[in-house]
Structure 1
Amino acid sequence: MASASATADHRRAELRDFLRSRRERVSPADVGMPGGGRRRTPGLRREEVAVLAGVGVSWYTWLEQGRDINVSEDVLDAIGRTLRLEAVERAHLYRLAGLNPPETPPAPAVPASPELQRLLSAWSPRPAYVRDRHWNFTAVNDAARAVFGYGETDHNCLVSFFTNNRYRVAHRHWTETAPAVAAGFRADAARYPDDPEFARVAADLATVSPEFAELWARHDVAEHTSAVKAVDHPEAGTLLFDATLLPLPEHPGSHLILHNPRPGSGTEERLARLMRERSLVVAHPG
């Protein structure tokens, strides 16, 4: 567990970088201001944000510099409106400013219960897995391994997304999805500011994945949403799934991810054939 001072320093550094990245994203034209000729930095200037939000220039500068100053909900709301923050970004700003309500400490990560293991087995031949709050896999069914290419070295959903080449090649919309994946992990990390494991996972991954490092540096945050996942499988062909993420209240921060074949896509038949052929290979390896 990180010390209180280390946690506060980390939170203020995150706040500094987040505010700067959001400020640079908003152009003067976005808020009805003239461009004012050449600008040395993209987006709004600090003093422009302060004026638009109705706060002192020095105070806003101190806030963006990550200094230890008092903030109020009203002021953060004004800054959020000025920077055109979405709901998830505004919540992220609140947490970084230390105004998030105290949360129940998450339970230690544990392997999936026997009941969950049975559910994953019953869900086959459809892919399913369980991940904990750090996105570590705690249970993966055989269909998920066969469809997504997860192997014995795949221990973390985030890491596998950026480093498992088989998964990347098969995921039809990998490039479009990658920013939301990195943003989702950052949003989860902000929910547990006292947990240094998120920073460790991100730092380790950034050393081996330049693409993740670039996305992580954006400081974007996003909520998890259900989505359609398209897989171009080397054996089964095109597979289309509705991917649904379900929270597990008995394990705070953990989620069950279910993949259901899209109706009318032929996925269910191709998936059943793939798993049937896999079972024959296992039964008769020669």
Structure 2
Amino acid sequence: MTSSPLGDYLRGRRDRLTPEALGLPVYGRRRVVGLRREEVAMLTGVSVDYYVRLEQGREVSPSPQVLDSLGEVLRLDDDGRQHLYRLAGLSPRPTPPAPVEEVDPALLELMLSWTASPALVFGRAFDVLTANPLGEALFGGFPFSRNLTRTVFLDPGARTLYPDWHLVAENAVAGLRLADGLMPGDPRIRAVVDELRVKSPDFVELWERNDARGKRLDSKRFRHPEVGPLELRVHVFEVRGAPGQELVVYHAPAGSPSAEGLALLGTLAATRRIG
């Protein structure tokens, strides 16, 4: 059976939905966990044969109307719909990223002025391109890898650092899947994906869900080895003029225990630099 990235995505999303979630009656024993192809076709308003061709990669040019209907039936959010359109070739190609990812010196200067907030710049495959001193301290200087997706799945210490490891892992994979759709064939993204598919069964399980979305965690919990529990708000900004780069800033409300923890962490980091 042939397939395509579009077909894989449709099949992955179909497998994640139940007929009950869509108000469909259920009769007798079902051989599939999620929706049947016939059910998706009926709700989308296309023939079963046409939908099967979509999943098998034999139909590669669905209309925007069909994609809109599929997005509604499969309960896709905005990121998921955009990903669906890109896979169908109906979105403009993004500007290709530079082969070597570099951070604008002016952005780095701005990050260095944020002494109370950890800040990082991620590349298109979630490599940490730069971090301010508090960002370095928050992640312990990235002892395992400066690629945070590799760290989440391959560093045994990640499950200690992140009390909500599974949420962090889901978010990381969905973000990588979205980047892969935005920049298909990017060698750095493919290298990270290929390595993790070999080394991490947890990654494989999440990757095969075909979730595609940007960073959605409004806050993130850390269990830092030096200052203890931290709960930080997460702010994500696209870096203009650098396709694929994101500025991520962590923040704790003034006077909160997490703000006190960040202040202590900053003091410890400064002491180490002076020493």
Q: Deviations over 1:242-261 (max 9, x none)?
A: 22111110212111111122
Structure 1 pair 127–53 and aligned structure 2 pair: CA distance change class (3 A): same
Distance in structure 2 (CA, Å) of the matches to 1:272 and 1:31: 49
Structure 1 counterpart of 2:4, from 13, 17, 27: 13
AA aligned to 1:120 is M
Distance in structure 2 (CA, Å) of the matches to 1:47 and 1:96: 22
Give, in angstroms, the shift of residue 274 of structure 1. Answer: 2.8
AA aligned to 2:198 is T
Structure 2 counterpart of 1:231, from 222, 230, 233: 222
Residue 115 in structure 1 maps to residue 114 in structure 2: no
Aligned 8 A contact 2:60 2:88 in 1: no
Aligned 8 A contact 1:240 1:262 in 2: no
Distance in structure 2 (CA, Å) of the matches to 1:178 and 1:140: 21
Partner-residue secondary structure (3-state), 2:198: helix
Larger mean CA deviation between 197-206 and 59-68 belongs to 197-206
Partner-residue secondary structure (3-state), 1:111: coil
Counterpart position of 1:6? none
Counterpart position of 1:180? 171
Counterpart position of 1:84? 75
Counterpart position of 1:129? 120
Structure 2 counterpart of 1:47, from 17, 35, 38: 38
Which runs of structure 1 show a deviation greater than 4 angstroms over 4 or more consecutive aligned residues?
A: none
Structure 1 pair 44–232 and aligned structure 2 pair: CA distance change class (3 A): closer
Counterpart position of 2:239? 248
Distance in structure 2 (CA, Å) of the matches to 1:273 and 1:69: 55
Give, in angstroms, the shift of residue 107 of structure 1. Answer: 3.4
Structure 1 pair 46–148 and aligned structure 2 pair: CA distance change class (3 A): same
Considering only aligned residues, what root-mean-square deviation do their CA atoms show, in Å? 2.2
Distance in structure 1 (CA, Å) of the matches to 2:36 and 2:23: 14
Distance in structure 1 (CA, Å) of the matches to 2:221 and 2:176: 21
Larger mean CA deviation between 105-114 and 30-39 belongs to 105-114
Structure 1 pair 46–245 and aligned structure 2 pair: CA distance change class (3 A): same
AA aligned to 2:5 is E
Structure 1 pair 30–273 and aligned structure 2 pair: CA distance change class (3 A): closer
Structure 1 pair 184–49 and aligned structure 2 pair: CA distance change class (3 A): same
Counterpart position of 1:65? 56
Partner-residue secondary structure (3-state), 1:101: coil
Distance in structure 1 (CA, Å) of the matches to 2:142 and 2:16: 39
AA aligned to 1:111 is E
How many residues end up aligned between the 2 structures? Answer: 274
Gaps of 5+ in 2: none
Counterpart position of 1:271? 262
Partner-residue secondary structure (3-state), 1:232: strand
Counterpart position of 1:5? none
Aligned 8 A contact 2:117 2:134 in 1: yes
Larger mean CA deviation between 268-277 and 92-101 belongs to 268-277
Distance in structure 2 (CA, Å) of the matches to 1:68 and 1:262: 51
Structure 1 pair 164–145 and aligned structure 2 pair: CA distance change class (3 A): farther
Give, in angstroms, the shift of residue 194 of structure 1. Answer: 4.1
Give, in angstroms, the shift of residue 98 of structure 1. Answer: 1.3
TM-score (norm 1): 0.86
AA aligned to 2:30 is R
Distance in structure 1 (CA, Å) of the matches to 2:141 and 2:5: 32
Residue 222 in structure 1 maps to residue 213 in structure 2: yes
Identity of aligned residues (%): 38
Q: Deviations over 1:45-75 (max 9, x none)?
A: 2122222222122111111111144311111
Partner-residue secondary structure (3-state), 1:35: coil
Counterpart position of 1:98? 89
Structure 1 pair 177–153 and aligned structure 2 pair: CA distance change class (3 A): closer
Q: Deviations over 1:128-159 (max 9, x none)?
A: 11111221211122222222223355221221
TM-score (norm 2): 0.89
Residue correspondence of structure 1 range 192-207 to structure 2 within 5 A: 192-207=183-198
Greater C-alpha Rg:
1
Aligned 8 A contact 2:162 2:168 in 1: no
Partner-residue secondary structure (3-state), 1:123: coil
